[in-house]
A and B are shown apart, each in its own frame.
Chain A
């Protein structure tokens, strides 16, 4: 049997996504009545949950509203990379602060989340890629960021990483990076916030929001109303409706990274791997399963993504090429998730243009898991002390509104 030519038929309508409406497991929240807090947070991903935790540590009262389950969307189903290597220099202060928080994860959330400071190796497949990695390392050194990057090439490279395929010719090694299990870490931030006294309400979708001159008012349309002078918009790929409600906008799109995991394999890859130019990344868990990403999935419905069949083959091809020991491994699961991305590959973090006490934090373009803990901490300090713990100026939402502003002024 062979592939037939011709266009692919359109997707079928899907009346009931799995885990969707016919599942009583996703019953609505039972919270009713009026709640008041210093801060309301929309979105229980790693950013919102971390913010809730740090706000509690600073003594502020918090209500966090999550449409589904905390840490179950992009924060919980991402690849699990905890690396700075390759991040834009503008993100380094935030990423380095987050690295310090990752190092004290058990003290923060009560579990180690399978975090391993394994190091991260960014591989080059051509001399041009190698030059590009070298340029990055030089740039990082010039701005004084203590990443301790090391270029590894030639015979030393082959000796250190004999399990990489022959197309890999060298790499940039970042010893302080690592990886962790997002399924454990992100929900644990929400549980820790709750244990610290935050009111975390799951299965609660915000349907109405306004500002009455003194406070933000959020309602789920089912009897719950939350009033708070501060509002944190941490709703990930779904953050725009809330932003627009208060006069802000950003050209955010949804991306659906394609991922795969193998059966447990003998341990051979003890570090987190990426590639200059992208398309494939991989890590091996303590149990031996290899988690691999690259290529793209599709939206299945507004809340879920699914891996794309053609992309699965493409990913497998890249796996077999970069990781020869995995050529005969079995893939036991493919999956995808929904993540917010912005055209300049930087997140939106900062106040709304009309409300100084509305703070946005969304659109992390793949870097949210590593930076999430520090973003939450920065937001908490912003609320409590009027300024974040690290400079965030580059991430303001106003960077997308210059044309709008000009028009308004004209």
Chain B
């Protein structure tokens, strides 16, 4: 039997499943969350159920359509919720489902692994009360909890405004929205924003509503630091030459999104530098075929395009997969050129702060897991002449902790490129090693065959 696996049950993964089911296959859908929807349409536990309108705002019709479709598909899909795909080797996924190990051999695989916040840290970001935008959204959507009560949203990207509005609408005391993108970014991004006029209009409405609710929105901001003793008490920032401090109980921040590419890396996919996302991304064709036969990429895990484009990409990747299996499929849906323009629009709207690396003080903690400061990274780059990220990792432990660089990698790469005086892409990317996320010793031990004597040539003693 042909085994087709999908990793990720967000918009891309669900639409891929839909196509596969339509072709008569029974895909295996693996996801870390207990319920489908991904990050964008994250669902609360059944006991905390709230109306879609309340959870997803103007995206509610899309979310509801996806969930309705899923309800019809579910009986024809092997859905494995609460399942971490922690390794991929030789066409086999290694899984941990509710603490129990298993493996899944696949013939074809759709990686719809999504994205997480791109984090460019600022002084004080490790204080209790400072969260990522994604975490703030999880608190709201999954746990019906508001961070705060007084909260400041900072950073850049569409999520900044979306989460701020969701909080404001849910009754939070949103003290400010501080965008580090230049004030003229929306004007510059306008031509590309018009590639999806509906979405652009929604963005504009969001901003208007925030202002109507009396939330101050400031662009062209430089984040100076979160202040507080035991926890955050104020966010200090600078705009138009003036320094201000906004008292608050919580800060949620993020600088756009970064693709989750570890499984693609473990699968052996080739990576290319992507100018738009300013990141190394797994190579794939317009249909989502990676450089490894049988491995397909879709959604934000392939490049940041947003949820709507992810739905289309998921369907396309599944169609490519079916065609490659020799199954009769309708002619593949071409990718609308607007998807690519929208991707550029998103980045033009929220460029990363120029000079972030130059402005970052030496004492800033860049890597929370291993407690490494910007100054240590700079000093090591100077001392050793390292200008490659894996070398810096070996010498400083940056990216070697629990997150394996998923949180600190973007910042470390920028600091290294700045210190070495080379373009960002020239420092390369962190090599992925399993596990994708930490796994308990005991759980993996359960997967081992009964203990055998160590072969003579492997004694290592």
Asked if A213 is at the interface of the complex by the 8 Å CB criterion, the answer is no
Q: Please, which residues of chain B bring their CB within 8 A of the CB of A320?
A: 441-442, 445
Q: Which chain B residues in 68-121 approach chain A with CB under 8 Å?
A: 78, 80, 87, 89-92, 94-95, 97, 101-105
With the chains together, A319 CA to B443 CA distance in Å?
12
With the chains together, A26 CA to B428 CA distance in Å?
8
- Provided the pairs A277-B459, A307-B434 are in contact, do residues A332 and B87 lie with their beta carbons within 8 angstroms? no
What mask results when residues 307 to 339 of chain A are scored 1 for a CB within 8 Å of chain B, else 0? 111101110111111000011111111110000
Nearest B residue (CB) for A287: B370
With the chains together, A17 CA to B370 CA distance in Å?
27
* Contact of B448 with A314 in the complex, beta carbons under 8 Å: yes
Contact of B445 among A6, A184, A310, A319 (CB under 8 A): A319
Instruction: Give, as a whole number of angstroms, the nearest-CB distance from A55 to chain B.
Output: 21
Asked if A154 is at the interface of the complex by the 8 Å CB criterion, the answer is no
* Contact of B444 with A69 in the complex, beta carbons under 8 Å: no
The number of residues on chain B lying at the interface, defined by a beta carbon within 8 Å of a beta carbon of chain A, is 70
With the chains together, A1 CA to B103 CA distance in Å?
8
With the chains together, A331 CA to B402 CA distance in Å?
9
Q: Which of A46-54, A292-300, A380-388 contacts B (4 or more CB under 8 A)?
A: A292-300
Asked if A8 is at the interface of the complex by the 8 Å CB criterion, the answer is yes
With the chains together, A106 CA to B460 CA distance in Å?
29
With the chains together, A92 CA to B449 CA distance in Å?
37
Asked if A241 is at the interface of the complex by the 8 Å CB criterion, the answer is no
Our count of residue pairs bridging A and B at CB distance below 8 angstroms stands at 192
Nearest B residue (CB) for A10: B90
* Contact of B391 with A72 in the complex, beta carbons under 8 Å: yes
Contact of B460 among A22, A279, A307, A313 (CB under 8 A): A279
* Contact of A1 with B104 in the complex, beta carbons under 8 Å: yes
Contact of B458 among A122, A274, A279 (CB under 8 A): A279
Q: Which chain A residues in 22-61 approach chain B with CB under 8 Å?
A: 22-27
With the chains together, A278 CA to B401 CA distance in Å?
28
With the chains together, A70 CA to B219 CA distance in Å?
46
- Provided the pairs A307-B434, A319-B441, A320-B441 are in contact, do residues A16 and B458 lie with their beta carbons within 8 angstroms? no
Instruction: Give, as a whole number of angstroms, the nearest-CB distance from B296 to chain A.
Output: 14
Contact of A279 among B87, B447, B459 (CB under 8 A): B459
Q: Which chain B residues in 374-396 approach chain A with CB under 8 Å?
A: 383-384, 387-391, 394-395
- Provided the pairs A3-B103, A331-B444 are in contact, do residues A366 and B94 lie with their beta carbons within 8 angstroms? no
* Contact of A122 with B103 in the complex, beta carbons under 8 Å: no
Asked if B287 is at the interface of the complex by the 8 Å CB criterion, the answer is no
With the chains together, A406 CA to B390 CA distance in Å?
48
Asked if A409 is at the interface of the complex by the 8 Å CB criterion, the answer is no
Instruction: Give, as a whole number of angstroms, the nearest-CB distance from B384 to chain A.
Output: 6
Q: Please, which residues of chain A bring their CB within 8 A of the CB of B435?
A: 331-334
Asked if A405 is at the interface of the complex by the 8 Å CB criterion, the answer is no
Q: Please, which residues of chain B bring their CB within 8 A of the CB of A257?
A: 460
* Contact of A25 with B431 in the complex, beta carbons under 8 Å: no
* Contact of B394 with A72 in the complex, beta carbons under 8 Å: yes
Nearest B residue (CB) for A294: B460
With the chains together, A295 CA to B445 CA distance in Å?
13
Q: Please, which residues of chain B bring their CB within 8 A of the CB of A76?
A: 394
* Contact of B432 with A18 in the complex, beta carbons under 8 Å: yes
What mask results when residues 272 to 311 of chain A are scored 1 for a CB within 8 Å of chain B, else 0? 0011111101000001000001111000000000111110
Q: Please, which residues of chain B bring their CB within 8 A of the CB of A8?
A: 90, 92, 105
Instruction: Give, as a whole number of angstroms, the nearest-CB distance from B406 to chain A.
Output: 11
Asked if B292 is at the interface of the complex by the 8 Å CB criterion, the answer is yes
- Interface size band for A: 35 or more
What mask results when residues 418 to 461 of chain B are scored 1 for a CB within 8 Å of chain A, else 0? 00000001111101111100111110111111010110011111
Asked if A9 is at the interface of the complex by the 8 Å CB criterion, the answer is yes
Asked if B246 is at the interface of the complex by the 8 Å CB criterion, the answer is no
With the chains together, A255 CA to B90 CA distance in Å?
19
- Provided the pairs A11-B90, A278-B460, A313-B448 are in contact, do residues A19 and B434 lie with their beta carbons within 8 angstroms? no
Nearest B residue (CB) for A321: B451
Nearest B residue (CB) for A293: B460
Q: Please, which residues of chain A bring their CB within 8 A of the CB of B384?
A: 187, 191
Asked if A183 is at the interface of the complex by the 8 Å CB criterion, the answer is yes
Q: Please, which residues of chain B bring their CB within 8 A of the CB of A183?
A: 394-395
* Contact of B439 with A18 in the complex, beta carbons under 8 Å: no
With the chains together, A307 CA to B87 CA distance in Å?
11
Asked if B238 is at the interface of the complex by the 8 Å CB criterion, the answer is no
Asked if B271 is at the interface of the complex by the 8 Å CB criterion, the answer is yes
* Contact of A313 with B447 in the complex, beta carbons under 8 Å: yes
Asked if B33 is at the interface of the complex by the 8 Å CB criterion, the answer is no
* Contact of A3 with B102 in the complex, beta carbons under 8 Å: yes
With the chains together, A246 CA to B447 CA distance in Å?
48
* Contact of A277 with B101 in the complex, beta carbons under 8 Å: no
* Contact of A309 with B451 in the complex, beta carbons under 8 Å: no
With the chains together, A404 CA to B152 CA distance in Å?
78
With the chains together, A281 CA to B91 CA distance in Å?
30
What mask results when residues 61 to 88 of chain A are scored 1 for a CB within 8 Å of chain B, else 0? 0000000010010001000000000100
Contact of A275 among B265, B291, B461 (CB under 8 A): B461
- Provided the pairs A25-B388, A294-B460, A306-B89 are in contact, do residues A316 and B271 lie with their beta carbons within 8 angstroms? no
Asked if A112 is at the interface of the complex by the 8 Å CB criterion, the answer is no
Contact of A25 among B103, B427, B433 (CB under 8 A): B427
Instruction: Give, as a whole number of angstroms, the nearest-CB distance from B402 to chain A.
Output: 5
Asked if A146 is at the interface of the complex by the 8 Å CB criterion, the answer is no
Contact of A316 among B293, B389, B444 (CB under 8 A): B444
* Contact of B441 with A277 in the complex, beta carbons under 8 Å: no
Q: Please, which residues of chain A bring their CB within 8 A of the CB of B95?
A: 1
With the chains together, A50 CA to B444 CA distance in Å?
39
With the chains together, A311 CA to B408 CA distance in Å?
29
Instruction: Give, as a whole number of angstroms, the nearest-CB distance from A251 to chain B.
Output: 13
* Contact of B460 with A23 in the complex, beta carbons under 8 Å: no
* Contact of A1 with B97 in the complex, beta carbons under 8 Å: yes
Q: Please, which residues of chain A bring their CB within 8 A of the CB of B94?
A: 309
Q: Please, which residues of chain A bring their CB within 8 A of the CB of B186?
A: none
* Contact of B268 with A19 in the complex, beta carbons under 8 Å: no
Q: Please, which residues of chain B bring their CB within 8 A of the CB of A328?
A: 440-442
**Can you list 11 pairs linking A and B with CB atoms under 8 Å apart?**
A2-B102, A4-B105, A12-B294, A15-B292, A184-B395, A263-B402, A278-B459, A279-B459, A281-B461, A327-B440, A331-B441
5 nearest A-B pairs in the assembled complex, by CB-CB distance: A25-B428, A278-B459, A330-B438, A25-B388, A279-B454
| Given A279-B454, A293-B460, A366-B460, 16 other A-B residues pairs in contact with their CB atoms under 8 A | A16-B268, A16-B270, A16-B291, A25-B389, A278-B458, A278-B461, A313-B101, A313-B446, A317-B451, A320-B445, A328-B441, A331-B439, A331-B441, A331-B444, A332-B400, A332-B401
B residues apposed to A, CB below 8 Å: 28, 78, 80, 87, 89-92, 94-95, 97, 101-105, 265, 267-272, 291-294, 370, 383-384, 387-391, 394-395, 400-402, 404, 425-429, 431-435, 438-442, 444-449, 451, 453-454, 457-461
A residues apposed to B, CB below 8 Å: 1-4, 6, 8-12, 14-19, 22-27, 69, 72, 76, 86, 122, 183-184, 187, 191, 255, 257, 261-263, 274-279, 281, 287, 293-296, 306-310, 312-314, 316-321, 326-335, 366
